[in-house]
Structure 1
Amino acid sequence: MTDRPSVLVVDDKENMCHLVARILGDAYQVKTVEDGARALALIRTREFDVVVTDIRMPGADGFEVLRAIKQHAPDTEVILMTAYATVPRAVEAIKEGAYDYLSKPFDPDEVSLVVARALERKQLKAQAASLRRELNGVYGFQNLIGKSAPMRALYGLLERAAGLAITVLITGETGTGKELVARAIHHHGPRKNKPFIAVNCGALPSELIESELFGHVRGAFTGAGETKMGLVEAASGGTLFLDEIGELPLAVQVKLNRMLQDKEVRRVGEATARRIDVRVITATHRDLKAEVAAGRFREDLYYRLNVFPVQLPPLRERREDIPLLAMHFVQKAAKTYRLPVDGLEPEALRVLTGYAWPGNVRQLENAIERAVAITSGTRVGTSALPPEVLGESQGAVANDPLVKLPFREAVDLVRDRASRDYLIALLREFGGNVTRAAERAGMERESLHRLLKRFGLRSDDFKEPAA
C-alpha cells in the first residue's frame, strides 16, 4: 500500500503518457492507459485521487471519461488535456465537473501545479464533507462546538462544573462565547428545568441596576409606583448569569457579595430579607485582578466569585475548530433565511482558517451569516466573505517566503509542512495510538511509522501520562 496520492493518466499517445508520468512520478503513484475505453473499465474497479485525460481519443473521449468518473467517483478531480483548446470547450468541461483544463504543449511545472491544486481541492472537499458528519454533537458540549485540544479540555472542566453547586467565573476575550458556556453549564446540570436569567451588567443604567437585580418595594424611590421582584429572585431555583461583572458599580458589588454570603436578598426599601436558592455564574473580558488592584472591583467579591474559574481560549488558538464552526453557522443561517446554501467552497474554507478573527466566534458567525445571505448558489465562496477577511489572507500569501523559492522546492516544503501538521493532529486525536491513527489515515501501521520517523515524531510524546 502506498502513502502517495494516485493519479490516472489517459492519452492515446504513448509518449504523452510517459511524459506526464515522468513529471508526476516522484510525488504520486501514477497509472497510465492509452485509450478511453480502458480508462472506463479501470475506474469501475479502482478509485483515483486525480485523473488527467486527453479530450480527443478514439473510442471514449475525455468528456465520456469525465462523466463516468463523476458518476462512479464524484470526489475524484479530473483535468482535461487537449491540443485543440478553445474557451467554449474549457467552459463546457468545467461545467461538467472538470477541475481544470490544460492546453498542449504545456510546461512540466504547470502540470505539477494543476495536479497539486486538484489534489488539495479534493482533500478540502473531503474535509468539508466530514464537517457535516461531525456536527452531530460528538465534538460538542451542549451547544458548544469544537474538537481541538483546548476545547476538549474545556468540556471536561464544564462537565465537572455542571454537576456542582459552585460559583463559576468565566473569563475570555469578547466574542469567545461566555454566555453560551454559562447556558451549557446550566442545561447540563440538575437545574436545567429551572430558570436561566442572563443579565448584562454593563447594559443596565447605574441608577437602576440595584433595583433590577434585587427588586424594590412601592415608594422606595421616585418612580417606584409598585413593588417589583428583582432578577435574582426571578432566577430562584435556577441560574443567574451576570455577564460583564466587571462593570458592576462598587455599591452594588457590596450588596451582591452579601447576597452570595448569606443566601438572602433584600429588596430596595424593604427591611426583611428573603431566602433564595440561586446558582450564580459570572463572566467578564476584563482582568479582575487588575481591576481589584486599581480599586474598581472589590477584593472580597473577586475571591467569592473566583471559586471555579473557566478561561475560554480565543479562536486564533484553536484554528482547527474554524471549519467545524463555519459549517455549523452556514447551516444555521441557511435555516434562518430559508436559503439552499449547504456548504463552503474549499478556497473559502482555507481563507476562513487563515484569518486571525480578533472578534472570535461572534465575528466568525456574523461573517458567515452575511456570506450566506448574499450567496446565490449552494456553496459559500470567497467573493461572499468580508473584505477584512480576504485582505488579511491575501496579504499573508503575498508576504509568504515561499514565493522566493523555485516552484518544486516550494511545493515540497508546503507538502512537508502539511504532512507534519496532519500527523501531529492525528496523534493528538488518538493519544499516540498508532493503530487507530493509521486506521483514520487509511494506511498500514508500518507506513505510518515510516512517516513519523521521517518527520521526527514519536507516538509516545502524545500519550497521556500514567496516573
Structure 2
Amino acid sequence: MSEASRPSVLVVDDKENMLKLFSRILGEAYAVTTAGDGERALALLASREFDVVVTDIQMPGADGFAVLREVKRRAPSTEVVLVTAYASIPKAVEAMREGAYDYLSKPFDPDEVALVVARALARRRQQQETEGLKEKLAAAPDFHGLLGTSAPMRQACAMLAQGAARDFTVLLLGETGTGKELAARAVHAESPRRAGPFVAVNCGALPAELVESELFGHAKGAFTGATAARVGLFEEASGGTLFLDEVGELPLPVQVKLNRALQEKEVRRVGTTTPIKVDARVVAATHRDLQAEVAAGRFREDLYYRLNVFTVRMPPLRERREDLPLLALHFLAKAGRPLEGFTPEALRALTSAPWPGNVRQLENAVARAVAVAQGPRIQLEDLPPELGRSAGGGALPPESLAKLPYREAVDSARDAVSRDYLTALMQEFSGNVTHAADRAGMERESLHRLLKRYGVRSEDFKRSE
C-alpha cells in the first residue's frame, strides 16, 4: 500500500523514545507523522487533516487538551486518542467528554495501541459514511413519503405522478409492505382532487357480512342492528379519493356491485333501491396476481378490467437494495433516539437480508434495534436475530478466535473481535487471566485492561468447585 493511500496518524509526544515506539507499532499499517511538542502539532494541524491523532496529555507549552481542541475545531471527524500516566486517568476521562475517542494509560501493550487506533479509524470512517448517507438522504427525492434513488423506485414514482394527473382508476400491485398505501396517498396528493378527502379501507379486514354496508352505506332497519341510516365510504370519499386496499379479498357478490358502482358512478345503500350519485376516484391495491385469481374464479374478470386502467407495480426491497441504507437511516431518524447510525456489520446485514416483508419489515427491524441498542450506533446484535444470521460477515467464530494470538485475531475479525475474542478466552480458561494471557501472547496486565475496557469479567467464567 502506498504512503498516500494509507490512513494518516499524527503522534504527538515530547519524548523521542515514545515517538519511535509509536512509529514502530503503527508504521506498517499507517502513514505516521510525528511532532515533538504541542506547538509543532498545532502547526501541522493548520496545514493538513489527519485521520487519527495520538497525543500525550502532559507536555510543556501546548498540552494534549490544546491539541484535542484544535483538532475538534478544524476537523471534528478526526479521532483523538490520548496517552496518559495512570495517575492522570481522570484528566483523560475529562478529555473524552470534550470529544476524545479513547485513551491509553502507560505502560501500554503494543497490541492495545494497534487495536485502539484501528477502532478510532473505523469510527471515523463510520462517521464519514453516515454523513455521506445523510447528505444523500437530504438530496434524495421524496415523493410524498416514497423514498429512493434506485431505478425501479424512480420509475414507480414517475408512473404514479403520470397516473395522478388523469382522473381514472389506478391499480397498485406489489408484495405486502412495499408502500402501496403511501403510493395511493401520493396519487391523491398529486391529483386535482388533493383538496378532497382521502378515505382508505382494507377490504381484507372487513367482515364479509359488513363489506357491502361499509362501502355503499345502509338504510335504517336494513338489517339487525341497523338502528340508523349510514353513509358508505363511496359517499364519504366524494370529491376525493377512495383507496381500496387488498381489493382481491372482496367477496364475489360485492365485486359485482363494486363493478356497477365504478361503471355507473352511483351506489345503492343496503335496504334501498334509490341510486345515489358519487364522485370518488378509486385507487385499488392488492398483493395478489389478479389475472391468476380471475383464472381460478375468485375474482371477476369484468371488475379486473374495470380496475386495470392504469397499473403501477411497487418494487420489492430485493429489487432496490441500493435504497436500503437511505431507508434505514430515514427510519432511524424517525425513531426518536439520537443515535449516530449503524456499524458496518449492521448495515451489511440490512442490505443483504431477503426482506420478505419489504419496507414495513425494515421499519420494524430498525425500530426494534433502536429500542435495544446500548451504544451510540446500532450493532449487529441489536437487529432481529434472523437478520444477523443472514449477514455473513466472514469473521471467525469466537471459539476459533480463542485459538489465535491476539494480533492474528484482530486481523481475522477486525472491528467485531474484541468482546467475542476476550469472552472466548475466558470461557476456554475458566476465567484464568494468567493462562489466557499466555495463549493471547500478551502481558497479564494488558489483558486485564482489555477485559475491563470491553466489560468482560473474568470472575463470571470461573467454574464452581
TM-score, normalised by the number of residues in structure 2: 0.72
* Contact 1:322-1:353 at 8 Å conserved across structures: no
Structure 1 pair 267/295, CA: closer, same or farther in 2 (3 Å)? same
Moved more, 107-116 or 64-73: 107-116
Instruction: Give the equivalent residue in structure 1 for 2:338.
Output: 342
Partner deviation per Cα, 1:200-220 (whole Å, 9 max, x = no partner)? 101211101011101233443
Which residue does 2:425 correspond to in 1? none
Amino acid at match of 1:119: L
Q: How far apart are residue 227 of structure 1 and its match?
A: 3.4
Per the TM alignment, residue 358 of structure 1 is displaced from its structure 2 partner at its CA by: 4.5
RMSD: 3.9
Q: Which secondary structure state, in structure 2, belongs to the residue aligned with residue 281 of structure 1?
A: strand
Q: What is the CA distance between 1:255 and its match in structure 2?
A: 1.6
In structure 1, what is the equivalent of residue 360 of structure 2? 362
Query: 1:254 corresponds to which residue?
Result: 256
Corresponding residue for 1:201? 203
Change over 3 Å in CA distance of 1:362–1:30 after alignment to 2: same
Q: Deviation per CA, 1:43-94, whole angstroms, max 9, x where unpaired?
A: 2343222212334444333343223322332211112345759875664554
SS at match of 2:192: coil
**Contact 2:342–2:378 (CA under 8 A) maintained in structure 1:** no
Counterpart-to-counterpart distance in 1, 2:173 and 2:87 = 59
SS in 1 for 2:34: strand
Cross-structure match for 2:326: 324
Report the equivalent of 2:77.
75
Partners of 2:43 and 2:346 lie apart in 1 by 38
Once structures 1 and 2 are overlaid, which stretch shifts more, 209-218 or 389-398? 389-398
Q: Which of 388, 394, 398 is matched with 1:393 structurally?
A: 388
Pair 358,60 (structure 1): closer, same or farther in 2 beyond 3 Å: farther
Task: Describe the superposition over 1:139-179 as per-residue Cα deviations: whole angstroms up to 9, x where unpaired.
Answer: 21112223334333332222222222232222333233221
Deviation at 1:109, TM superposition (A): 6.4
Residues 108 and 300 (structure 1), Cα distance of their counterparts in 2 relative to 1, 3 Å cut:
farther
Instruction: Give the whole-Å Cα distance in 2 for the aligned partners of 1:125 and 1:390.
Output: 25
In structure 2, C-alpha distance between the alignment counterparts of 1:156 and 1:4, rounded to whole Å: 44
| Deviation (angstroms), 1:16 | 4.8
How far did residue 181 of structure 1 move? Answer: 1.4
Aligned residue number for residue 154 of structure 1: 156
Residue 18 of structure 1 deviates from its aligned partner by 5.2
Q: Secondary structure at the match of 2:100?
A: coil
Q: 1:323 to 1:273 in 2, by over 3 A?
A: same
Q: Is the 8 A contact 1:121 1:346 kept in 2?
A: no
Q: Following TM superposition, by how much is the alpha carbon of 1:241 offset from its aligned partner in structure 2, in angstroms? A: 0.4
Q: 1:302 aligns with which of 301, 304, 317?
A: 304
- Matched residue SS, 1:283: strand
Structure-2 change in CA distance of 1:395 and 1:160 (3 Å): closer
**Which has the larger Rg?**
2
Moved more, 365-374 or 51-60: 365-374
Deviation at 1:11, TM superposition (A): 3.1
Work out which of the residue numbers 172, 179, 182 in structure 2 matches 1:180.
182
Q: Confirm whether residue 42 of structure 1 aligns to residue 40 of structure 2.
A: no
The alignment partner of 1:126 has SS state of helix
Task: Map Cα deviations across residues 343-364 of structure 1 (whole Å, 9 max, x no partner).
Answer: 43443x7525523354433344
> Matches of 2:126 and 2:341 in 1, distance apart?
9
Q: Which residue of 2 aligns with 1:287?
A: 289
Pairing 1:12-161 to 2, within 5 Å after superposition: 12-14=14-16, 16-17=18-19, 20-21=22-23, 28-81=30-83, 91-102=93-104, 111=113, 113-133=115-135, 136=138, 138-161=140-163
Counterpart secondary structure, 1:265: strand
The residue number in structure 2 matching 1:239 is 241
**Structure 1 residues 71 and 140, CA gap change in structure 2 (3 angstroms):** same
Counterpart in 2 of 1:170?
Answer: 172
Partner of 2:192: 190
Equivalent in the alignment of 1:457: none
- Inter-partner Cα distance in structure 2 for 1:313 and 1:359: 12
SS in 2 for 1:286: coil
Tell me, in whole angstroms, the C-alpha distance in 2 between the residues paired with 1:343 and 1:398. 23
* Cα 1:101/1:151, change in 2 over 3 Å: farther
Q: TM-score, normalised by structure 1?
A: 0.72
Q: How many residues align?
A: 403
**Would you say the 8 A contact 1:128–1:343 is kept in 2?**
no
Q: 1:313 to 1:401 in 2, by over 3 A?
A: farther
Instruction: Name the structure 1 match of 2:268.
Output: 266
> Paired residue for 1:227?
229
Describe the shift of the 1:395–1:145 C-alpha distance in structure 2 as closer, same or farther (beyond 3 A): closer
Identity of aligned residues (%): 61
Distance 1:362 1:170 in 2: 17
Partners of 1:23 and 1:153 in 2: CA distance: 53
Distance in 2 separating the partners of 1:138 and 1:345: 18
Structure 1 residues 200 and 51 mapped into 2: Cα distance closer, same or farther (>3 Å)?
A: same
Contact kept, 8 Å, 1:327 with 1:343, in 2: the verdict is no
Amino acid at match of 1:253: Q
